[in-house]
Amino acid sequence: MTLSRRALIHLVGRAGGVGAAYRTMAAMGLLAVPAAYAGPPALPPGNGRRVLILGAGIAGMVACWELMQAGYDPLVLEARKRTGGRNWSLRSGDEILERNSVQHVHWPAGPHLYFNPGPARLPYHHEGILSYCRMLDVPVEVMCNDNRGALMQDDKAFGGAPQLNRAVVNDARGYVAELAAKAVDRDALVADVTVEDKERLRAFLRAFGALDKDLAYRGSTRAGYATPPAGGMQAAAAPQPLDLRQILASDFWQGPMQFGEFSTMAATMLQPVGGMGRIGEAFGRKLHQHIVLGAEATALRRTATGARVEWRDAAGGEHAEDAAIVLVTLPFPVLRGIDADFAPATKAAIGAVDYVSAGKVAFLAERRFWEEDHAIYGGISWTSRDITQIWYPSAGLHQQRGVLVGAYVWSEEIGTRFAARSPAERLEAALSDGEALHPEYRRWLGKGVSVAWPNIPYSGGAWAEWSREARAQHYPVLLKGDGPFLFCGEHMSHITGWQEGAVRSAHYALAQVGERMRG
């Protein structure tokens, strides 16, 4: 099958050139080139019909915008006093309200002095959210996600001393290539490579792992320099390779080393200029006539003609709004607390989804010591300690000050511990952990703030995590909707935890709206 396809394409290529072969492969679905982003679904004319939307996060605002374009009269009820939901950038003077604490951001103002407690990355193939950045005129820029100049630290390996990402990644790569070459020597082959190809396979492995002529790995400048090249007589010397047993003893290989190859983590990684919150803010400005802020839904009722949403305004006033369709984008930890006329299967489904207890810490740095002293520009250092990651800003390079993300936690165990701590305790723990990577840490960092998503009102968690069972049993129930109520948001997608999931789920729900409006 594969062979005959290839033979066919080869023939087409011979006859019609590469362009013809390319188009043939595309037509046959053989090109791994991503399918062009289809965009939002077509909607029947709205004729001013009302659609209610609960939540002015990304999903709710995408739905609102597309309904507006098609002539509907969407109304978004948003409990917070700002738009964006988890799309949020904290800047000078902002407030962080958790269930048991209030924090204020005491940083100077500056275009690069922001902190994204929620999403902070736009993978290049998340074409939905990127297309809305384009539509909203929110400029995006390249960010570094996986930085070969950053560090990895594990208390279980190398005596706890941090190692350069480039050394861990490339020394491991060299050892793997050396092992693979040994397999070739012993006549093991892979993927139908023939014996005639063995020499080419060896040459490939040598290039893959920077192996010596004898197919052994003895270190490489890919891992850095024992002596960096310079002027005069100073030529480059490769460092001694790291001890593979120490790499194996670490957890570096359980994620950090492959990080930049994961589909949602690979380059090119993008970010909005000025903070992820620019998206939610721009949407909010564009849709402001259709959004009520400070409007907290208190009850979702079914009526003869659709639904009635009862809501409370910021001053405590009670209101109700009727509509044939209500798009419910609220995260389930919030939705669970609202009195709703949902069917039992819907209620069971809403109760069956776990939310991740993620959290982050950010510090103001009076000096960007990571750039000046360590040549770390953006990207992430990893540690086995609770903080899990340190994120260096990709914006404001070479400026005096910067905002450093001193912790990004998402494991259930660490996240729960994190959320239980007071803001002050979180900062102290983050400084203490961070010193394992940067002993000079406390000298430059201050004015820390933290966000523990389980404690954030109107969120109640960072993002949905479907168990295999819940995905099979409950997700299809929710996808169909419950009478006048349709559900969307990142949790109603196969891209949970990403804004792209919110966009795509909104599109899915809009297609359902379209069907109902036609029918």
204-223: which residues touch a second copy (CB under 8 A)? 204-205, 207-210, 217, 221-223
Closest approach, Cβ 98 to a second copy, in A, equals 30
48 near a second copy, rule: CB under 8 A? no
First CA to last CA across the chain, in angstroms?
Answer: 44
| Listed ranges 267-275, 301-309, 344-352, 403-411: which one lies at the site for a second copy (CB under 8 A) | 267-275
Closest approach, Cβ 10 to a second copy, in A, equals 5
Query: What is the DSSP annotation of 253-316?
Result: TTTTTTGGGSTTTSSPEEEETT-THHHHHHHHHHTGGGEETT-EEEEEEE-SSSEEEEEE-TTS
Contact 256, 152 (CB under 8 A): yes
Nearer to a second copy, 81 or 398 (CB): 398
CB atoms within 10 A of CB 159: 7
324 near a second copy, rule: CB under 8 A? no
| Listed ranges 87-95, 246-254, 286-294, 333-341: which one lies at the site for a second copy (CB under 8 A) | 246-254
Out of 42, 236, 320, 472, point to the residue binding a second copy (CB under 8 A): 236
| Listed ranges 68-76, 145-153, 320-328, 343-351: which one lies at the site for a second copy (CB under 8 A) | 145-153
Closest approach, Cβ 200 to a second copy, in A, equals 5
> By C-alpha distance, which of 2, 77, 162, 96 is closest to 427?
96
146 near a second copy, rule: CB under 8 A? yes
Out of 253, 298, 446, 470, point to the residue binding a second copy (CB under 8 A): 253
492 near a second copy, rule: CB under 8 A? yes
Nearer to a second copy, 449 or 509 (CB): 509
Pick out residues in 155-184 that bind a second copy (CB under 8 A).
Answer: 155, 159-164, 166-167, 169-170, 172-173, 175-180, 182-184
Tokens read off for 246: 């120490």
Nearer to a second copy, 83 or 383 (CB): 383
Alpha-carbon distances of 291 from 41, 57, 77, rounded to whole Å: 22, 11, 6
Angle between helices 277-286 and 127-135 (to 10 degrees): 50
109 near a second copy, rule: CB under 8 A? no
Residues 170, 171, 177, 179: what is their CA dihedral angle, to the nearest 10 degrees?
A: -160
Contact 342, 300 (CB under 8 A): yes
CA distance 383 to 381: 7
Pick out residues in 364-423 that bind a second copy (CB under 8 A).
Answer: 373-379, 394, 397-398
116 near a second copy, rule: CB under 8 A? no
Out of 412, 413, 435, 515, point to the residue binding a second copy (CB under 8 A): 435
Closest approach, Cβ 353 to a second copy, in A, equals 16
For residue 506, with 0-12 CB atoms within 10 Å meaning exposed, 13-18 middle and 19 or more buried, which class applies? Answer: buried
CA distance 478 to 482: 7
